[in-house]
Amino acid sequence: MSRLIWRGTLILFLITPLLFSALHNTPARGSPTRTLLEEIPPDTEYLMVYPRGWAENLQPLVVWWNRAGIRTVAVEYESAVGEGEGRDPPEKLHSLISEVYERGGGALRYLLLAGDSEVIPTRELYVGEVGEDLDEFYPSDIYYGSPGSSWDTDGDGIYGEEGEWDFSLPVMVGRFPASSPDELSRMVREELRYLTEPQEGNWSRRVVMAGSLMDPPNNPNLYEAYKDNAFKALKETEVFIPTYMNKVELTDYPYMEGGNYTPSVDTLNHTNLISSLLPGAALFLFAGQSFYADNPPPLDNSLAEYSDPLGYSRYSFYPLLTYLDGENLTFSVRRPFAYISSCDSGRFTEEDDTNLERLLLTAEGGFSGIVASTGVSYRGETLNGSFGNWWLFKEFVRRLFQGPPRPAEALWQLKRHYFASIYPSCPFPEGVVANLYSYVLLGDPAMWLWLGDIRELEVSCPSYVYSGKSTVEVEVKDGVYGTPVVGARVTLYNPVDGEFFTALTGEGGVASLATEFNLTTDVVYLTVTRESYRPYMR
């Protein structure tokens, strides 16, 4: 018999459970040698990959997701590559991921690459020399999201050529672009604070939206209303944002037709953006112009805004948000998730990290995650349709609010739909492929976002859990209205061996857990999670 005990959120950092042996790569003394693949349970839903020596830095996140009812295993990158088959490290890692996915019958849903590209490489995917100023190759972690697909069927060492891609993407992939163990610890710590200790206040009901000009609006030789002002993207997107969210809108030019630009109508600049973000927000949504990677720091990969008294010059773009702004974004756990619809701002492969990935690493704030492009993306606006960046922008937001508030799910659903519905009809299909490759998630693929009010759970459960086979019923209600909460995940977790049992609440708000603990401790932890509700931990 074991007690359920409340220890608060600090327990995530105080306990040191014996995790799955896949977290440690030395077999127990006297035991037969087992392969890394054999160490990974077939029902693994979440696989994390970390560089050698970084296990302890990642461990609190592994504990959290197991405690939250998602079977999570962390493996050392070097061991994974040593065991996987392939011609280079990415292919060997992809091979191991494919084996885990196949052995589990498709149970694997999430993959976290817990390190920047210099310690866990990405895959360069090929679009080709196709014009439209697109890149020939794009760094893309979606390569790891389609287990069982080679992405190089002709064996020429060029991955992602036409017809070699696989956009089924059953595994959602995210990356923590940490370049050191300390940076990884910081990202893990800040995510756990965000998920388990959300602050009260209206920050979770705020959306900061910013749209820049692409060309000068008072210059009729350059400006085309249908494609040169991201104000259009904001207007088409805001209809999917519920009325309970407070929208803060910053634009260079709040009109579609050209000829009316003056500085007085321009609200988009660095000062206004930082002051709008500092109170905290649920989301930061940007569409528009950016500085390409070949600019010198800090301009390279940064977001841009337009400012010209005459509205005529095409050379009047200035920094809006750069990697140096991490020092200014000190909003603690009121951290917005950023979706950035522009070129290059997600180029995490740069060795000097002069891109917006640094905004995930700030000590007191920064973004909770970023979706951005690793190269030149395809705008895709025509007089009669929308096929590129701005279509993806609004559709991501629509999925985020109409489905589970989980960025990875919204992004992966969007990628599948984009290829199936837009690629066949796009006048420039190579642009669709470039966007599919380039938009990546920098963040945890399993995390949810706080969108709207943060509610409380009321939980009723037995005081004791028994060893051996047992059934435990847990009732979950809304903390204010007392109504049953359907779809809450209820998990009982043994901190000694990492074993857990989990179930979802049904229509009456009751979860029935069939447990079979082998208890050697007097403490078992209860965790209840549901989007929009603060996690209940006892």
pLDDT number for residue 521 = 77
Q: CA–CA separation, 296 vs 57, rounded Å?
A: 33
pTM: 0.93
pLDDT exceeds 50 at position 19: no
> Residue 263: pLDDT band by 50, 70, 90 thresholds?
very high
Arithmetic mean of pLDDT, 55-62? 98
Identical fold for domains 9-173 and 199-442, yes or no, is yes
Q: CA–CA separation, 291 vs 303, rounded Å?
A: 6
Q: CA–CA separation, 510 vs 133, rounded Å?
A: 56
Arithmetic mean of pLDDT, 424-446? 97
pLDDT exceeds 50 at position 25: no
- CA-to-CA dists, residue 417 to 126, 388, 426, angstroms: 21, 13, 13
Arithmetic mean of pLDDT, 346-371? 89
Q: CA–CA separation, 530 vs 504, rounded Å?
A: 10
CATH 3.40.50.1460 for domain 199-442, yes or no, is: yes
3-state secondary structure of 238: helix
Tokens of 315: 């050379």
Q: CA–CA separation, 110 vs 172, rounded Å?
A: 5
Arithmetic mean of pLDDT, 115-121? 98
10 Å Cβ neighbour count for 56? 13
pLDDT exceeds 60 at position 28: no
Candidates 294, 288, 351, 343; CA nearest to 320 is 288
Q: CA–CA separation, 67 vs 525, rounded Å?
A: 8
> By percentage, how much of the chain surpasses pLDDT 90?
85
Tokens of 170: 């059953």
Arithmetic mean of pLDDT, 434-442? 98
Arithmetic mean of pLDDT, 144-157? 97
pLDDT exceeds 60 at position 247: yes
Q: CA–CA separation, 390 vs 381, rounded Å?
A: 8
Tokens of 159: 């991955």
Q: CA–CA separation, 298 vs 300, rounded Å?
A: 6
- Residue 299's Cα: distance from chain center in Å? 24
> Residue 21: pLDDT band by 50, 70, 90 thresholds?
very low
CB 414, CB 440: distance < 8 Å? no
Q: CA–CA separation, 136 vs 130, rounded Å?
A: 8
The predicted-structure confidence for 82-100, as pLDDT tens digits, reads as follows: 999 999 999 999 999 999 9
pLDDT exceeds 60 at position 248: yes
- Residue 336's Cα: distance from chain center in Å? 12
Query: What's the CATH architecture for 9-173?
Result: 3-Layer(aba) Sandwich (3.40)
CATH number for the domain formed by residue range(s) 457-537: 2.60.40
Arithmetic mean of pLDDT, 504-531? 94
3-state secondary structure of 247: strand
Tokens of 242: 């519920």
What sign has the CA pseudo-torsion 156, 158, 160, 161? negative
pLDDT exceeds 50 at position 3: no
DSSP string, 402-470: HS-S-HHHHHHHHHHHIIIIIGGG-SSHHHHHHHHHHEEEES-TT-----S--B-EEEE--SEE-BEEE
DSSP string, 496-507: TT--EEEEE--T
> Residue 1: pLDDT band by 50, 70, 90 thresholds?
very low
- Is 355 buried (19+), middle (13-18) or exposed (0-12) by CB count in 10 A? buried
pLDDT number for residue 437 = 98
Arithmetic mean of pLDDT, 466-479? 96
- Residue 288's Cα: distance from chain center in Å? 21
CB 338, CB 372: distance < 8 Å? yes
Arithmetic mean of pLDDT, 238-248? 98
> Residue 33: pLDDT band by 50, 70, 90 thresholds?
low
> Residue 448: pLDDT band by 50, 70, 90 thresholds?
very high
CB 161, CB 129: distance < 8 Å? no
**Amino acid sitting at position 379:** R
CB 139, CB 473: distance < 8 Å? no
Arithmetic mean of pLDDT, 146-153? 96
Arithmetic mean of pLDDT, 335-356? 93
Tokens of 355: 């891109």
Q: CA–CA separation, 206 vs 212, rounded Å?
A: 20
> Residue 12: pLDDT band by 50, 70, 90 thresholds?
very low
Domain ranges within the chain, ordered by starting residue: 9-173, 199-442, 457-537
The predicted-structure confidence for 371-429, as pLDDT tens digits, reads as follows: 999 999 999 999 999 999 999 999 999 999 999 999 999 999 999 999 999 999 999 99
Residue 105's region, left for phi above 0, alpha for psi from -120 to 50, else beta, is: left
CA distance between the termini of the chain: 16
Angle at Cα 532 formed by Cα 14 and Cα 237, nearest 5°? 125
Query: Which residues have a Cβ under 8 Å from the Cβ of 204 and sit 6 or more positions away?
Result: 198, 280, 282, 334, 450, 451, 452, 453, 454
